[in-house]
Amino acid sequence: MEAELESLKFPNPNIISINGIELEVFEAGKENMGNPIVLCHGFPEHAFSWRYQIPALAKAGFHVIVPNQRGYGNSSCPKEVTAYDITHLTDDLVALLDFYNYRDAVFVGHDWGANVVWNLALLHPERVNKIINLALPYQERGEKPWIQFMEEFFGDDFYFVHFNKKPGVADAVLENHTENFLRNLFRKNVPLAPPEPGMLMMNLAKADKPLGEPMLNEDDLSVFVKAFKNSGFNGAINWYRNLDRNWHILADIDPIIKQPTLMIYGNLDMIPKFERLKDFVPNLDVISLACGHHIQQELPQETNQSILKWLGQFNA
């Protein structure tokens, strides 16, 4: 397994026109057509964040489809903020299935990608066969719009709130410190501690001595740096700027997810576990791994084993 991970060759992309935009899509296991699994990255990531999972899933018999979602990599970056709401993000994935003539697929999400997968299962349940989500549990729709709730609870320096209340400010800081930001963000063995004053993402972009240890080697880091120097951060941050819009979109949607679901947590992640997750996702299994937020990159072998063992039970 270790030798296999060291000798990874990331697939070449195709540019696919769907849903009024272009998506950069990476594939493996085309010989397994008919058994699709779609991997959805988070913020500020790239399809490359699944580099350890792609060959393992293809070897296990899956047609692995890994898009750079809108706003990322060489995919389209629409200028309109509303082009990044949950309707557009989930419609992109539906259109991706249509492109391959798939009725449904297994969907795997990490971080923001997990949020999109949760909501895809709510908005288009017939297109989701099974769910595997990492790091970000289901987000309960409360009585207040999410940004209003977060501002009251965390304050206006919380990065979700800052992205919305001060548009363009963080975008510029991250773009002016792209390599330092990504180098400081992708860390492992970061001790859990109260956040420093100020805006987390901007602090990371400017920090000289980040906590923890580097998670990426220089070659891997360069993939992320090159991608964001090309795309900028505005499109990716616009996902956050639709949270309240998404709250309204989901107002009348049945909140219960019925698909078989695996939730993988990192025990050192600053995102808390959702103790009532099973109330909303009754067909649920939960695994916790000894890592931080970037689960599939920090512990690739353990992540692959967890995913494949869980998926294997349906083929027994």
Catalytic residues: 111, 293
Amino acid, res. 181: F
What is the rounded distance in angstroms from the CA atom of residue 301 to the CA atom of residue 307?
Answer: 10
Please compute, for residue 301, the number of CA atoms within 13 A of its CA located in the half-sphere on the CB side: 6
Which of 253, 314, 316 minimizes the C-alpha distance to 283? 314
* Percent of the chain that is helix, strand, coil (3-state, to 5): 45, 15, 40
Distance of CA 171 to the CA centre of its chain: 19
Dig out the tokens for 276 from the structure. Answer: 């009532």
Residues in Cβ contact with 166 at an 8 Å cutoff, skipping those fewer than 6 apart? none
What is the rounded distance in angstroms from the CA atom of residue 237 to the CA atom of residue 81?
Answer: 9
What is the rounded distance in angstroms from the CA atom of residue 32 to the CA atom of residue 63?
Answer: 5
Distance of CA 310 to the CA centre of its chain: 20
Report the 10 Å Cβ neighbour count for 290.
10
What is the rounded distance in angstroms from the CA atom of residue 184 to the CA atom of residue 190?
Answer: 11
User: For residue 194, what is the DSSP state?
Assistant: P
Dig out the tokens for 104 from the structure. Answer: 């449904």
What is the rounded distance in angstroms from the CA atom of residue 65 to the CA atom of residue 22?
Answer: 15
